[in-house]
């Protein structure tokens, strides 16, 4: 209840009987929320002489920060790289559906596409807070078209481009605008990439290395110019070699500028990476691991054929290939499945698995003061999970936006 020295009259909710992830470990503590933010109850008690208006018994659940997916190409029949008339309702549908996977913020990802697609689609993506309508949008992730021909993976070859003529201007012309762009994946071995990386970094865009045949020194140079992320480690890059570890070598490179950390995305669906490789990466650089789904339109739908930008893909169980080939193309894994699989495959602690999907992506994007933790004054985006890390309820800004019903849907 508010009292004489009250800072606000907004209701205060106290989540009790739970274990919260804070300071890297699961603590037997209550979670206090007011006005969409995590509240400091000690300050409330001594400064405001306030106490809770509502107490909710969480029945022993784990409370963790909401998951942040920085690489998701679509889902539930929606393809972010397709410039349809109802693009907006498509992105709304995905943002609403992924709440049940524990995702409270995401970066809609566009694969390599012709400029017309970027010009039509990007203006329809806006950075916005999450809520009952769906997960928050942090900005777009543009994966391509400035990538390597040899490592294009499922990206359409005819849309690949270089920026050797006009460097950053070429990039800007291709995309049209960088207004809501949060991450750009490019291949650093391309001519004039250093200028482009510097320009993007200056504008606050996170540069990621991927779909590339760069060697380790090219990758290190890119990092020195500002690159901070690696797109789906191991996939679409040169394999680790003991005399030239390539991009994978960034995990243990000694040429990373002081005070900076290189993060790397991992699709831990059990298919894109062998569990042993996942363990090697995790053990080499545990603090940099960011779980991503790289989910495509077919995620959440029945097996069969779906689109991925300009391509047609075929889904068979958890495997998704370019139709008629054995080339992997995105995944149909959900974020909570990835978290569980990561925890099982590496044998890491529950805290580590949860942080790989929340704290680390927030740190990558430089938003950890607000997202990715349950620290006081952070946005109250959190999940209730059981001990096996199945999501039971999703909260955004302190409001319940999804709950698993009794039938387990």
For residues 117 and 272, the answer to whether their CB atoms sit within 8 Å is: no
Q: Which of 37, 43, 279, 340 binds another protein (CB under 8 A)?
A: 43
**Helix (H) or strand (E) run with residue 110 in it:** strand 103-110
Q: How far is it, in rounded angstroms, from Cα 393 to Cα 409?
A: 12
Which of the ranges 48-56, 149-157, 175-183, 323-331 carries the binding residues for another protein, by CB under 8 A?
48-56
Q: Which of 143, 153, 139, 146 is closest to 69 using CA atoms?
A: 139
For residues 290 and 352, the answer to whether their CB atoms sit within 8 Å is: no
328 annotated to bind ligand: yes
236 annotated to bind ligand: yes
Give me the half-sphere count of Cα atoms (radius 13 Å) on the Cβ side of residue 14.
16
Encoding tokens for residue 335? 């974020």
Q: Which of 7, 10, 11, 30 binds another protein (CB under 8 A)?
A: 30
46 is an interface residue for another protein by CB under 8 A: yes
Q: Which of 23, 27, 24, 31 is closest to 58 using CA atoms?
A: 31
User: Quick one: 50 or 74, whose CB is closer to another protein?
Assistant: 50
Query: Least distance in Å: CB of 72 to another protein?
Result: 39
- Between strands 62-65 and 136-137, the pairing is unpaired
User: Quick one: 19 or 182, whose CB is closer to another protein?
Assistant: 19
Q: How far is it, in rounded angstroms, from Cα 329 to Cα 344?
A: 24
Sequential DSSP letters for 253-277: -S-SPTT---EEEE--SSSSS-HHH
Which of the ranges 37-45, 156-164, 298-306, 352-360 carries the binding residues for another protein, by CB under 8 A?
37-45
User: Quick one: 42 or 164, whose CB is closer to another protein?
Assistant: 42
User: Quick one: 41 or 134, whose CB is closer to another protein?
Assistant: 41
Q: Which of 228, 238, 232, 190 is closest to 207 using CA atoms?
A: 228
Q: Which of 212, 186, 215 is closest to 201 using CA atoms?
A: 186
Residue identified by tokens 């993506």 is 125
Query: Least distance in Å: CB of 40 to another protein?
Result: 8
Question: Which residues are identified as catalytic?
Answer: 294
Q: How far is it, in rounded angstroms, from Cα 138 to Cα 148?
A: 27
Which of the ranges 41-49, 79-87, 229-237, 329-337 carries the binding residues for another protein, by CB under 8 A?
41-49
Q: Which of 8, 25, 27, 42 binds another protein (CB under 8 A)?
A: 42
288 is an interface residue for another protein by CB under 8 A: no
3 is an interface residue for another protein by CB under 8 A: yes
Q: What angle do CA 281, 284, 391 make, to 5 degrees?
A: 55
Query: Least distance in Å: CB of 46 to another protein?
Result: 6
153 is an interface residue for another protein by CB under 8 A: no
Task: Report phi then psi at 46, rounded to 5.
Answer: -80, -40
Q: How far is it, in rounded angstroms, from Cα 104 to Cα 15?
A: 19
Query: Least distance in Å: CB of 384 to another protein?
Result: 21
Which of the ranges 45-53, 96-104, 228-236, 391-399 carries the binding residues for another protein, by CB under 8 A?
45-53
Query: Least distance in Å: CB of 49 to another protein?
Result: 4
Query: Least distance in Å: CB of 48 to another protein?
Result: 8
Task: Report phi then psi at 201, rounded to 5.
Answer: -60, -40
Which of the ranges 42-50, 66-74, 258-266, 301-309 carries the binding residues for another protein, by CB under 8 A?
42-50
361 in helix, strand or coil? helix
For residues 320 and 298, the answer to whether their CB atoms sit within 8 Å is: yes
Query: Least distance in Å: CB of 54 to another protein?
Result: 15
221 annotated to bind ligand: no
45 is an interface residue for another protein by CB under 8 A: yes
6 annotated to bind ligand: no
Cis omega (within 30 of 0) on the bond before 177? no
50 is an interface residue for another protein by CB under 8 A: yes
Binding mask 57-96 for another protein (x = CB under 8 A): ----------------------------------------
Binding residues: 143, 154, 211, 232, 235-236, 243, 272, 328-330
- Binding residues (CB under 8 A) for another protein: these are 3, 30, 41-46, 48-51
């Amino acid at each position: 209840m508010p009292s004489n020295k009250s800072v606000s009259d907004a209701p205060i909710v106290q989540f009790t009987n739970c274990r919260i992830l804070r300071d890297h470990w699961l603590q037997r503590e209550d979670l206090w929320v007011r006005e969409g933010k995590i509240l400091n109850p000690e300050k409330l008690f001594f400064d405001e002489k306030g106490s809770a208006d509502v107490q909710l018994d969480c029945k022993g659940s784990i409370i963790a920060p909401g998951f942040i997916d920085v690489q998701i190409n679509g889902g539930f029949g929606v393809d972010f790289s397709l410039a349809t008339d109802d693009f907006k309702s498509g992105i709304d549908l995905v943002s609403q559906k992924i709440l049940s996977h524990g995702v409270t913020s995401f970066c809609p990802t566009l694969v390599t596409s012709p400029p017309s697609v970027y010009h039509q689609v990007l203006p329809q993506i806006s950075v916005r807070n999450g809520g009952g309508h769906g997960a928050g949008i942090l900005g777009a992730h543009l994966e391509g078209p400035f990538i390597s021909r040899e490592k294009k993976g499922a990206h359409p070859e005819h849309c690949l481009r270089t920026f050797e003529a006009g460097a950053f201007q070429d990039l800007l012309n291709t995309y049209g605008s960088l207004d809501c762009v949060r991450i750009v994946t490019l291949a650093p071995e391309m001519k004039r990439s250093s200028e482009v990386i510097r320009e993007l970094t200056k504008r606050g865009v996170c540069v990621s290395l991927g779909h590339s045949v760069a060697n380790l020194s090219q990758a290190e140079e890119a990092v020195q110019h500002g690159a901070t992320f690696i797109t789906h480690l191991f996939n679409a890059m040169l394999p680790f070699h003991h005399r030239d570890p390539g991009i994978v070598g960034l995990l243990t490179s000694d040429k990373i500028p002081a005070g900076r950390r290189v993060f790397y995305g991992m699709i831990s669906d059990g298919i894109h990476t062998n569990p042993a490789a996942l363990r090697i990466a995790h053990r080499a650089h545990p603090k940099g691991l960011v779980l991503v789904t790289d989910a495509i339109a077919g995620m959440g739908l029945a097996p069969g054929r779906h689109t991925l930008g300009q391509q047609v893909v075929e889904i068979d169980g958890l495997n998704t290939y370019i139709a008629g080939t054995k080339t992997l193309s995105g995944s149909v894994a959900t974020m909570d499945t990835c978290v569980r699989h990561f925890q099982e495959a590496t044998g890491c602690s529950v805290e580590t698995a949860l942080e790989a999907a929340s704290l680390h992506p927030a740190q990558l994007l430089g938003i950890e003061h607000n997202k990715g933790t349950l620290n006081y004054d952070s946005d109250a985006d959190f999940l209730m999970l059981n001990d096996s890390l199945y999501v039971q309820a999703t909260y955004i800004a302190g409001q319940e936006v999804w709950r698993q019903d009794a039938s387990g849907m």
